Amino acid sequence: MSELLTKLPAQLRELATDSLYERLAYSHDMSPVEGFLTGDWLKTVPDLVVLPHSREDVALLLAWAEEERIPVTPRGAGSTSLFQSVPAKGGVVCDLSWLNTIGPWDLTAGTVRVGAGTIIYDLIQQAEMRGWTLATFPSSAPGGTIGGWFNNGGRGYGALLHGNLLEQVRGLEVVLPGGRIEWLTRDNSELPIEWFLGSEGTLGIVTQLEIELLRRPEAQGHIAFGFHDIAELQDFLTNYLWGPFLPYNVTFVSTTSGGQQLQRINWDAMLPSNFFVASFFGSLDHVELGIQRMRAFKSEYRVRQLPNWQAEKFWQDRYYNFRLQRTGPSLLGAEVVVPLAMISHYTRGIEQLATAQRKPMITYGYLINRKEVYVTTMFWSDEARTISYLLDLSLVSALYNIALKAEGKPVGIGLWNTPYLRHIYSARERRAMWERKQKLDPQLILNPGKTYRATKLLRPSVFSPAMLLTRGFRKLITRIGRARS
Amino acid sequence: MKNKDYSFSKLHAEAFTCIQCGYCRRVCPVYQKIGRESATPRNKVYQLQNLLSSYPPFANIPPEFAERFWQCTHCRRCVDVCPAHMDLMNLWQGVKHQLAKRGAVPKQIMATKQRIKEHGNIFANPNEVRSYWALSLPGYPEVLRPQDPEIAVFVGCVASFYPLLVTIPLAFAQIMLKLGIKAYFLGADEYCCGHPLITAGEVAVSREVARKNLAKIRELGLEKLVFLCPSCLSSWHEDYPVYNQGELGITLVHYTEYLADLVREGRLQFAPYPHRTTYHDPCDLGRHLGIYDPPRRILQSIPELEFVELANNRADSLCCGGGASLHMIDQELALGIRHARLEQIKASGVETVVTACGECRQVLTFGLQDVKSAIRVLDIAELAAELVVN
């Protein structure tokens, strides 16, 4: 038994493990990061893992951690890719998976209390059995937890019509550093719920949420259109979205340079390079009128309506964007929010990069409001080929630069996006964030080493030139390779 | 990964397809019971990636690695939810193959291997007594070996030897006799199908028994083989063609498919069974072979039977805990997995639960007995034999 485990309060000891094998499972997330990249300057393997069964367990842990000055990193499903839930400085990982109770339900008001470790898909299933559903949900619902999703901004399908998760959160139970348990409501001005949205577990550990549900829609309908040019797609959506009958969701795909790779996952070869799928939920009338209006709208554009089955199939596969991985071996990419008005600018930038670096890429995303698109761009690499993989990593920063030029910004901070902090938040926002952090966690116990400032190696003054150089080197190698072939 | 290629390069290619999304966490019965991230399929793959990246691969196997890999029921739920469509069944078998090569294999699996090698069955019984379940049948043993049979029947080790389950082949034989269908029971000519070894990645011995079984069927000139055990059918269907390096040229069906066809043709009819009844989908029959409807069609053809589905059914069905010899390797874990399914059965308010797998039948019978439930557990063959009116 490690010394730290012996120091842990007795009540927590049986919920904890110091086994190296167990701890290794918490030293990574979805991002394929080579060990030597994190080796010396980070301590990603926690010293202990604790799996609390109640908010009281969490409170006890945070009280002890503050007293002992031990870092605590909260973790949901670990299904992010910026090391949001991977320790940077060792300490304790607090795995919230077993805070997964669903209920009690208030089916009159349409609300439910749900443990932070609940898998989102489980909540959707339970709600639908009762005639309700979640107003918005992420594409990773079968893997992600509701608490993890909230801590990472709560964006998802349906946000176009219903706003992000914050709009549906009626109450939030959070354990603050030191162990104080708070129940926050929408009218709490001293500790606003908003502070915790997207805070990546740095201000407190969210243990329960009260969610406002949506009546399970009577009908749903999907319609898809293919475009020759992404600019036309952008124009179509921009103009359409300001009228009535706002869709529940709009997803778009631009496969231009990555189309060939997609054949390996039985991607429908009949799908055009640029297309979107609009989904209407609601009463039968609403769905029908929405689809009719969109169909009528198309007459003003050079656009091809895709068969209904293609639109429906695309919606059915809404949780399976990761099937792209099958085209691997490894996928790298970036998640950004880009103004809808700049989406063609963004995708053209991607195409230019793909051509210059001879690297096929695919871009897809969905609208999170009338003006903004949550975009993911992915490209293929092979983490087993270390040198080329490292060179490929530099392209991620190029993707971010393209997004920044298109007035967009990276999504999430964690560790790996700290070089972009000043682009993600204004100076005023960063100041406000830091003040909150100091107010709630003055000892910097919760999830330290991330989110608020970049470590030495990730400071923009070091990181940006390094990435630029690597990219240049990669381009050179690619050219030499091309010339030889 | 095909052709049982468990080489490092093949394992590497498949393992590095994992994106660590964690969709498998939600459905894995082992993780649900153990509750530690190390027990999730994704973490097994992550640790495998580490072992494959070291040089030489698999040089230093942490004991926990082997332990976690053997704690698996092969229920296939992880395969169905994997967005990267990983061939996880083959991957699990491949890892076990590598573990077995290095001696990191539970002694219970070793003992099973030995029994199959020496006796041709998992119980170390003389293989000649495989048909003793039929001793009470009038005309035994000739009645099991008719001239010009319509079908051949592969019973499998569990229902051939296990006292609680010998009623399954007996019931099927009684139905065939009642309907006047000539069914040829392989009996002593049948060897273990190799399934317990296939799930354990033991290629050599399983290939050996597969060859023996195939040779016997060809020698007898039988074209249609009906299986009473879904695990055996799964091996014949998925693995034997690999060993055979090509299609077998034999029609392979599960007995529920065969009986459902007889029901459709009007040859098989039942007396009323006025009881609320549910069906437990066995993993090997459902997720592995995609056979969901035939058992339901049989049940729904029984007059007055009130059929209800369990909360998790068909592809979403829960494992009973009996797969991949887990009850031998880690009984406590198997019982824990069983508990979740028993709770669903009890909550459904049924009087009878039927299934179509000897292993599931046994697990559910003992489970419901343990909790002193009055719910009756039957195999579909048993219920059909009880009600057949032709």
**pLDDT, tens digit (0-9, with 9 covering 90-100), for A409-462:** 999 999 999 999 999 999 999 999 999 999 999 999 999 999 999 988 898 888
Nearest-CA residue of chain A relative to B38?
A: A22
Beta strand A303-305 with A274-282 is unpaired
Phi and psi at residue A333, to the nearest 5°: 180, -170
CATH architecture classification, B8-104:
Orthogonal Bundle (1.10)
**CB-CB under 8 Å, A121 with B43:** no
| Collapsed DSSP state (helix, strand, coil) of residue A209 | strand
The token pair that represents A260 in the structure block = 């060939």
A222 vs chain B: nearest CA distance in angstroms? Answer: 22
Nearest-CA residue of chain A relative to B67?
A: A21
The predicted structure's pLDDT at residue A272? 87
ipTM of the complex: 0.95
pLDDT at B67 over 70: yes
Task: Select the more confidently predicted residue: A61 or A268.
Answer: A61
Find the range with the poorest average confidence among A174-183, A460-469, B88-97, B323-332: A460-469
Find the range with the poorest average confidence among A137-141, A290-294, A324-328, A460-464: A324-328
Would you identify the CATH topology of the domain B108-260? Answer: Rossmann fold (3.40.50)
Q: What is the mean pLDDT of residues B86-98?
A: 95
Rg of chain A over Cα atoms, rounded to whole angstroms, equals 23
Residue (of B73, B184, B187) closest to B120 by Cα position: B187
Which residues in chain A are closer than 8 Å to B312, comparing Cβ atoms? none
Distance of CA A127 to the CA centre of its chain: 23
Q: What is the mean pLDDT of residues A271-297?
A: 94
Confidence of residue B390 (pLDDT cuts 50, 70, 90): low
Task: Select the more confidently predicted residue: A38 or A75.
Answer: A75
The predicted structure's pLDDT at residue A108? 96
Q: What is the mean pLDDT of residues A252-266?
A: 77
pLDDT, averaged across chain A:
93
Q: What is the mean pLDDT of residues B53-80?
A: 95
Q: Which helix (H) or strand (E) holds A422?
A: helix A421-424
B210 vs chain A: nearest CA distance in angstroms? Answer: 32
Q: What is the mean pLDDT of residues B269-283?
A: 98
pLDDT at B3 over 70: no
From-to residues of CATH 3.40.462.40 in chain A: 219-410
| Collapsed DSSP state (helix, strand, coil) of residue B123 | coil
| Collapsed DSSP state (helix, strand, coil) of residue B135 | coil
A51 vs chain B: nearest CA distance in angstroms? Answer: 8
A438 vs chain B: nearest CA distance in angstroms? Answer: 32
Burial class from Cβ neighbours inside 10 Å (0-12, 13-18, 19+) for residue A386 reads exposed
The predicted structure's pLDDT at residue A264? 67
Q: What is the DSSP string of A213-246?
A: -EEPPSEEEEEEEEESSHHHHHHHHHHHTTSSS-
Pick from B38, B43, B84: which is nearest to A326 by CB?
B84
Q: Does A326 touch chain B (CB under 8 A)?
A: yes
Confidence of residue A384 (pLDDT cuts 50, 70, 90): confident
- B1, B10, B21, B38: best to mutate for the A interface, most A CBs within 10 A: B21
Tally of CA atoms within 13 A in the half-sphere of A23 that contains its CB: 19
**CB-CB under 8 Å, B83 with A21:** no
The predicted structure's pLDDT at residue A266? 66
C-beta neighbour count of A388 within 10 angstroms: 14
Q: Does A28 touch chain B (CB under 8 A)?
A: yes
Domains B8-104 and B267-387 are alike in CATH topology: no
% pLDDT > 70, chain A: 98
The predicted structure's pLDDT at residue A167? 97
Q: Where are the domains of chain B?
A: 8-104, 108-260, 267-387
Which residues in chain A are closer than 8 Å to B19, comparing Cβ atoms? 30, 322, 325, 331
Q: What is the mean pLDDT of residues B85-98?
A: 95
List pLDDT tens digits, range B298-342.
Answer: 999 999 999 999 999 999 999 999 999 999 999 999 999 999 999
Distances (CA, A) of A246 to A41, A76, A237, A252, A380: 48, 33, 11, 16, 35
| Collapsed DSSP state (helix, strand, coil) of residue B192 | coil
Q: What is the DSSP string of A346-407?
A: HHHHHHHHHHHTT--EEEEEEESSSSEEEEEEEEEE-TTSHHHHHHHHHHHHHHHHHHHHTT
Which residues in chain A are closer than 8 Å to B84, comparing Cβ atoms? 322-323, 325-326, 328
Task: Select the more confidently predicted residue: A203 or A245.
Answer: A203
Q: What is the DSSP string of A78-114?
A: ---SSSTTS-SB-SEEEE-TT---EEEEETTTTEEEE
| Collapsed DSSP state (helix, strand, coil) of residue A12 | helix
A330 vs chain B: nearest CA distance in angstroms? Answer: 7
For A3-95, CATH gives 3.30.43.10
pLDDT at B2 over 70: no
Which residues in chain B are closer than 8 Å to A326, comparing Cβ atoms? 17, 84-85
Pick from B26, B38, B50: which is nearest to A119 by CB?
B26
% pLDDT > 70, chain B: 99
Task: Select the more confidently predicted residue: B153 or A467.
Answer: B153
The predicted structure's pLDDT at residue A188? 83
**CB-CB under 8 Å, B84 with A143:** no
For A219-410, CATH gives 3.40.462.40
Q: Does A265 touch chain B (CB under 8 A)?
A: yes
pLDDT at A260 over 90: no
Give, rounded to a whole angstrom, the gap between the first and last alpha carbons of chain B.
48
On the question of a cis peptide bond just before residue B56, with omega within 30 degrees of 0, the verdict is yes
pLDDT at B78 over 80: yes
The predicted structure's pLDDT at residue B1? 41
For B267-387, CATH gives 3.40.50
Pick from A29, A95, A321: which is nearest to B20 by CB?
A29
Distance of CA B388 to the CA centre of its chain: 26
